[in-house]
Amino acid sequence: MKHLLQIADLGADGIDEVLRVADTFAEVNRRAIPKVQALRGKTVVSLFFEDSTRTRLSFETAARRLGADVLTFAAGSSSVKKGESLRDTVQTIDALGADAFVVRHASSGVPHQVSTWTEGSVVNAGDGWHEHPTQALLDAYTIRERLGGFAGRRIAIVGDIRHSRVARSNVAAFSALGAEVTLVAPPTLMPPSTEGWPAELSHNLEAVLPKMDVVYLLRVQRERATEALFPSLREYTAHFGLTAARAAMLPAGALIMHPGPMNRGVEIAADVADAENAVITQQVANGLSVRMAVLYLLLGSGVDLAA
């Protein structure tokens, strides 16, 4: 496997292998000097056409801890502003000797398109409403770490499913690993069609919470309120926000997760986000080990992960 564009590229065995290798990098990250030289001489380019804090920093730190060189591209301060096309931008950077592109773009399919223009590997760091596979991998790593495994586990993904690449990648990953996934959202925030999605649907958060091992909250994209998909943020919170009272309906030991950045007081109450069973900062920490595993498996290991 040369690129990681979507979870389906990996399959259940490939996900398991990424998580196993991520364990070994978690050990590296606990060392006095948390850095190896496994990708020495490789160049990783972070090609971000959309704002990002955690994903870009996480990938760049991961690449550096593997000994790779990192080139950072930020669309706002680049020749894209002078009208340079995506293809010319990629080929210009490619000419500098890139071994991997980590790509984020507001349009679905851009990472795939980039993969046709370069000899290097491409990792999808989020494209439009399509996928964000490394987020799903780090979420799977976190769940496995805390709950031991996926077989028979029930996971609710709550919020703006329609516009969420995180939801699409997570449904694919969690179901491939054997979990039962329930999507919870108002009808306007469900995808136009969920035919073929390996998930149950619900519009009633309180009805599903008592059965869940994990509740995964998606960020409410505030700009969606103006599209009349829900009446107001307050109305959203009233029906779909994880308040302290709703969090108390979860079974003991159930996990509360969020991909960040959080809107405290909207999809998740401030004190719930800091609760003992909220593993949101652990997700970020695990993201580093998981992205090291992905970069190493694509660029260094010589192992073919194809599903």
Partner 1 sequence: MAERERAVASGATAFVSRTQVMSADDVRRAITRIAHEIVERNHGVDDVVLVALQTGGAPIAAKLADELARIEGKTVFVGTLDVAYYRDDYGLRPVLPEAPTDIPMDLTGTTVVLVDDVLFTGRTVRAALNALADFGRTKAVQLAVMVDRGHRELPIRPDYVGKNLPTRRDELVNVRDDGVDLGDKA
Which residues are part of the catalytic machinery?
Answer: 54-55, 82, 104, 132
The residues, any chain, with a CB within 8 Å of residue 73's CB and separated by 6 or more, are 45, 46, 47, 48, 89, 93
43 and 96 Cβ atoms separated by less than 8 Å: yes
3-state secondary structure of 119: coil
Among 4, 7, 15, 21, binds partner 1 (CB under 8 A): 21
Lookup: tokens for 264? 């405290």
User: Contact between 38 and partner 1 (CB under 8 A)?
Assistant: yes
Among 11, 12, 16, 23, binds partner 1 (CB under 8 A): 23
Type of residue found at 67: G
To the nearest whole angstrom, how small is the minimum distance from the Cβ of residue 42 to partner 1? Answer: 9
User: Contact between 119 and partner 1 (CB under 8 A)?
Assistant: no
To the nearest whole angstrom, how small is the minimum distance from the Cβ of residue 52 to partner 1? Answer: 27
18 and 248 Cβ atoms separated by less than 8 Å: no
Q: Which is nearer to partner 1, 22 or 209 (CB)?
A: 22
Among 1, 36, 70, 80, binds partner 1 (CB under 8 A): 36
The residues, any chain, with a CB within 8 Å of residue 98's CB and separated by 6 or more, are 43, 44, 45, 71, 118, 120
x/- letters, 49..88, toward partner 1 (CB under 8 A): -----------------x----------------------
| Beta-sheet strand order (sheet of 214-217) | 199-202, 180-184, 154-158, 214-217, 255-257
Residues that bind partner 1 (CB under 8 A): 21, 23-24, 27-28, 30-38, 66, 296, 300-303
